């Protein structure tokens, strides 16, 4: 594949997922505004992924490149949970999630600069969390792991101990539905 893949994100998890499927992206983190204008989780992630991809794509117009923007949110009771700003906020989010189902949405925008095409979609995965004690929540928050993650947890980290089950794409919860990304590339003859 001679096409350049540009990941409009500094997320090491998204980069690792692309590497896992044989893609080596150039990392160009987006500086796009992330102000939310909707309360619908799927609409929010699609809008933010599009902003991120478009901001980075401006530097690749006419080139044989695919710019991938992504955004992930966790939603419970219709409420979007972003990244916690404080340890207290992280603990409150985990208290809300423990012992029940919630949803993880990742929006992806792929801009095919050479084709002048854009594809935007959102994937949803349902996650069930085991009941957690206050002490378990406090211990997990103390690890620092929740602080840079939507919903205050990383499914691929220590929080795996509290995941009862998922319905949908695991990689979507990590931060990128890489299977769907590959299908979009393959559909355009850009991946075997």
Which of the residues are catalytic? Answer: 71
Cα 61 to Cα 20, 34, 67: the distances in Å are 27, 23, 10
User: Would the CA dihedral through 152, 41, 15, 17 be positive or negative?
Assistant: positive
Q: Which two tokens stand for residue 38?
A: 């909707």
Residue 37 and residue 130: Cα distance in Å, rounded? 32
CA atoms within 13 A on the CB side of 188: 21
C-beta atoms surrounding 26 within 10 Å: 12
DSSP class of residue 131?
Answer: -
Residue 96 has phi, psi (to 5 degrees) of -70, -35
CA atoms within 13 A on the CB side of 18: 25
């Amino acid at each position: 594949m001679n096409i350049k893949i540009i990941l409009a994100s500094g997320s090491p998890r998204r980069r690792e997922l692309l590497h896992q499927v044989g893609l080596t992206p150039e990392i160009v983190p987006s500086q796009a505004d992330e102000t939310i204008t909707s309360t619908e989780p799927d609409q929010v992630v699609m809008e933010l992924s599009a902003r991120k991809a478009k901001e980075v794509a401006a530097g690749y117009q006419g080139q044989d490149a695919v710019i991938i923007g992504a955004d992930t949110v966790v939603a419970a009771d219709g409420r979007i949970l972003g990244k916690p700003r404080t340890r207290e906020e992280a603990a409150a989010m985990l208290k809300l999630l423990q012992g029940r189902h919630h949803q993880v949405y990742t929006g992806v925008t792929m801009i095919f600069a050479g084709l002048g095409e854009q594809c935007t979609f959102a994937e949803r995965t349902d996650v069930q969390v085991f009941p957690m004690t206050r002490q378990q929540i406090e211990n997990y928050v103390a690890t620092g792991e929740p602080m840079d993650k939507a919903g205050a947890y990383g499914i691929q980290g220590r929080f795996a101990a509290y995941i009862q089950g998922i319905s949908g794409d695991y990689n979507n919860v990590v931060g990128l539905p890489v299977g769907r990304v590959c299908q979009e590339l393959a559909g355009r003859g850009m991946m075997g």
